[in-house]
Chains A and B, each alone.
Chain A
Amino acid sequence: MSIRLHEASLRHGKVQALNAVDLCIDKGERVAIIGPSGAGKSSLLHLMATATRPSAGLLDVLDAQPWALSAHARQRLRARIGLVHQAPPLPPRQRVVTAVLAGRLGQWSTLRGLLNLVHPGDVPGARQVLADLGLADKLFVQCGQLSGGQLQRVGIARVLYQRPEVLLADEPVSAMDPVLADHSLALLNRHAQAHGVTLVASLHAVELALAHFPRVIGIREGQVAFDCPAEAVSESLLEALYANEQLASPVSVGATLTVQIPRC
């Protein structure tokens, strides 16, 4: 068992982001999380990444309860979990090579980490993961000079370099063009399959979720709306998932949805 949530809830102040979520994800499974904006997709991923502590309920990751561990043991566990952020938090003045190599800080000693800051120790390793994402020429460029889509790819490269056992991705391709998005998701899936890595990604493009992932979980209002194989996701399930009573004029919705309507 890779990830298990039991009655897990998360509260940000007065907002109930997640409400008693039960979920099991096996080792090596590849899962897409879809749902409307603000449904709790990011909260769920951050919870799985042990980035936030559930306000109620249980969380098991890699057969350990992160919040029952000591801080030191939790850091060791976290080194085995990788999270791709939607807008990767990278200092604008940091070079891409440093940002990518930082993925293994959890596995390196502090001394090695500091030496790596003075002189990058594994340039070939960083170049390799960046080359897979078409960014090899940006190795020594500062992160601040990259576009949003390029930054997202650097974020993916960092997590690929980290080689985690659980790879979580929060809208990893939201700033990329369709071709790049498709390529990056395929790469993540290939990596997961080749190394037996558990992959969980939240996506706002339903089409991508259905095309790349065998299992799809729909999240609405902090709860699991459906959890089924990609083939079983039907038009009616999606309509119920994305139904929005607050939008006054549904006129513009048609235009944006044509891109995202699932082909199933």
Chain B
Amino acid sequence: MLNVDARDPAALPRLLLTLLCLALLWPGLYVSELNPGVLLQAESRQQMASFVGAFWPPAHDAAFLGLLWAATLQTLAVATVGMALALVLAVPASLLASRALSLRAASQGGRPGSWSRGVRLPVRGLLVFLRSVPEIVWALLFVRAVGLGPTAGVLAIAITYSGMLGKVYAEIFESVDQRPAHALLQAGSGRLSAFCYGILPNAAAEVVSYTVYRWECAVRASVVMGFVGAGGLGQQIDLSMRMFAGDQVASMLLAFLALVMLADLLSRLLRGRLA
């Protein structure tokens, strides 16, 4: 069957890679103790039913809606300010970490020099450090430092997300067509100009969509951090759960759904403008 004429030299590596992935997944299932059967046991079903049953109808009295509105605004503010601070660090870091601005790469077919690789390494290391500590841990730390309230959430998001944004931006810059920027560098342009004229037009849509998605994640993260006292919707959900007020939890989850839909809409709108 596999005579020399019809053989694809990439077939064997692909097969081996697939087998390797399967071999790595199997112990993962085992270690994580995944057992969907537990969900179907009578006791679990009852517990879940009583928890979800209290959700209907969602709370909608004026006093609570006012509280919900204020908490939603606070969550949005935490996510947005946190993202803005994260961008301040992420954008320069991504430019430093990315090969896209290497002068040497422009004349060596994409291979940067050893010196610039040496500079890039510590920046990448910093980004790894920033995002390797989960935002909830930062939030716990900052709640102790600056006290209960949204400031802790803002700082936690700024730190973790600058690491994620910086890494992904750098990779987006490297993944788009490098030739326009290389052509500009070869015509004597500076690096920042070459980046703005050669890389950014191709990367803009992806950068924007990823940023909006991360903003959506930041909204979610700020809710989670509310549970440890960083304000916003999360703190309210925590309080309502402690009071077994399922209807309030339901209202807040609906508000949350609206926020995520808003983020989705925004992302689609911006992508439509840029792509």
Contacts and interface: CB of A to CB of B under 8 A. Distances in A.
Contact of A75 (B104, B190, B205): B190
Interface stretch (A87-95, A125-133, A194-202, A205-213): A87-95
B252 to A, nearest CB: 40
Nearest to B274: A93
Interface residues of B, number: 30
Contacts of B106: 51
A24 interface: no
A107 B188 CA distance: 8
A27 interface: no
Given A102-B189, A105-B194, A113-B193, A93 B201 contact: yes
Interface string B160-192: 000000000000000001011011111111101
Q: Choose among A53, A85, A93 the residue with the greatest number of B CB atoms under 10 Å from its CB.
A: A93
B188 to A, nearest CB: 3
Contacts of A12: 109
B186 A51 contact: yes
B204 interface: yes
A83 B183 contact: yes
B108 interface: yes
Contacts of A76: 188
Contacts of B275: 93
Nearest to B187: A106
B234 interface: no
Contact of A91 (B103, B177, B182, B185): B177
Nearest to A88: B183
A78 interface: yes
B189 A105 contact: yes
Nearest to B204: A93
A39 interface: no
A89 B177 contact: yes
B261 interface: no
Given A78-B187, A105-B188, A114-B192, A52 B177 contact: no
B175 to A, nearest CB: 14
B196 A94 contact: no
- Chain B interface main SS type: helix
A110 B188 contact: no
B193 A105 contact: yes
A103 B186 CA distance: 11
Given A85-B183, A89-B182, A105-B194, A113 B189 contact: yes
B202 interface: yes
Contact of B180 (A53, A78, A79, A90): A90
Q: Give the contact-size bracket for chain A.
A: 35 or more
Interface string A77-119: 1111111010011111110001000110111101001100100
Given A110-B193, A162-B187, A91 B202 contact: yes
Contact of A106 (B104, B188, B196): B188
Given A93-B274, A117-B197, A110 B186 contact: no
A105 B190 contact: yes
A92 B108 CA distance: 24
Contacts of A49: 186
Given A51-B107, A52-B107, A114-B196, A89 B179 contact: yes
Contacts of A255: none
A68 interface: no
B198 interface: yes
B193 A79 contact: no
A247 interface: no
A94 B201 contact: yes
A51 B197 CA distance: 18
Interface in B94-110: 103-104, 106-109
Nearest to A94: B201
A79 B179 CA distance: 17
A94 B197 contact: yes
Nearest to A102: B197
A50 interface: yes
B188 A78 contact: yes
A210 to B, nearest CB: 29
Contacts of B103: 71, 75
A102 B194 CA distance: 9
Given A50-B107, A93-B274, A113-B193, A103 B177 contact: no
Interface of A: 12, 49-53, 71, 75-83, 85, 88-94, 98, 102-103, 105-108, 110, 113-114, 117, 162
21 contacts: A50-B186, A71-B103, A75-B103, A75-B185, A78-B188, A79-B189, A88-B183, A89-B177, A90-B180, A91-B197, A91-B201, A91-B202, A93-B202, A93-B205, A94-B197, A102-B184, A106-B188, A106-B189, A113-B193, A113-B196, A114-B193
Query: Closest 5 CB pairs between A and B?
Result: A106-B188, A79-B188, A105-B189, A89-B179, A91-B201
Interface of B: 103-104, 106-109, 177, 179-180, 182-190, 192-194, 196-198, 201-202, 204-205, 274-275
